[in-house]
Amino acid sequence: AQSVTQPDIHITVSEGASLELRCNYSYGATPYLFWYVQSPGQGLQLLLKYFSGDTLVQGIKGFEAEFKRSQSSFNLRKPSVHWSDAAEYFCAVAFTGGGNKLTFGTGTQLKVEL
Amino acid sequence: GAVVSQHPSRVICKSGTSVKIECRSLDFQATTMFWYRQFPKQSLMLMATSNEGSKATYEQGVEKDKFLINHASLTLSTLTVTSAHPEDSSFYICSARPSGGTGELFFGEGSRLTVL
């Protein structure tokens, strides 16, 4: 069965430092890949998505992610983190023929130290 | 961008009562909406797919008689938690996919249900 893994439950970085959040998926073909951010008590906001084409995807708020087929990964990166980036980040995948049903990873809680 | 609104954002009810949560697409039509449940510090679990004008499709392990879903129009889906119990307390989030769009999903703000 397909699955999504976010190995890091919590990550703490200093403001201004670079950030990388890991995401790995298990599936036989190329899925559709997403990163969402959730602030406390809020819904989800889409940061970026990958469907096909260029494997380096640019998103909102200065985030980017790179799809690496050989590693089945879609890691999220940001060169310089801001205090307002503190939130929960979810990687999600939708699989071909899955009718847009998203499978979410367990999330990574990002804390930013000032 | 497309906006999805949920109401109420917070609800507290007594055990045994039923609670209805609404999910509305404010500026687009959605033939398909999805309902998720999120436990504290955990990920979102898909509960069911709501299809306008037809029965919802429930994920394995989700009681359809417990979580009633109605998608009566292209802009509204409702989730009713029947005979709620404390274990039903959770954060419920809906998402909607614009009809004829790119397939991107838009999420509501979520509804926090607390059953006493």
A-chain residues near B105 (CB < 8 A):
46, 100, 102
Q: Tell me: pLDDT of A11 over 70.
A: yes
Most confident of A41-50, A62-71, B96-105: A62-71
Going by pLDDT thresholds of 50, 70 and 90, the confidence category of residue B104 is: confident
- Is the pLDDT score of A98 beyond 70? no
Measured distance CA(A100)–CA(A80) in Å, rounded: 32
Window B:85-114, CB contacts with A under 8 Å: 91, 93, 95, 97, 103-110, 112
CB-CB neighbors (< 8 A) of B109 in chain A: 42-43
| Residue A103 token pair | 């499978």
pLDDT at B1: 67
- Section A9-17 average pLDDT: 96
More confident residue, A27 or A112: A112
* Cis peptide leading into residue B40 (ω within 30°): no
Angstrom CA distances, A33 to A94, A108, B67, stand at 7, 16, 29
Please give the pLDDT value at position A31: 84
Whether the per-residue pLDDT at A94 is higher than 80: the answer is yes
Residue B80's pLDDT band (cuts 50, 70, 90): very high
- Residue range A66-72: mean pLDDT, rounded: 93
From the CB of residue B83, how many other CB atoms can be counted at a distance below 10 Å? 12
**pLDDT in the model for residue A97:** 63
Q: What is the pLDDT of residue B3?
A: 87
Q: Give chain A's end-to-end CA distance (angstroms, integer).
A: 41
Please say whether the beta carbons of A5 and A73 come within 8 A. Answer: no
Closest Cβ–Cβ partner in B49, B104, B109 for A99? B49
Confidence of residue B4 (pLDDT cuts 50, 70, 90): very high
Q: Is A63 exposed, middle or buried (0-12, 13-18, 19+ CB in 10 A)?
A: buried
- Average pLDDT, stretch A84-100? 83
B110 to chain A, closest Cα gap in Å: 5
Average pLDDT over residues B2-31: 94
Work out the pLDDT band at B6, boundaries 50, 70, 90. very high
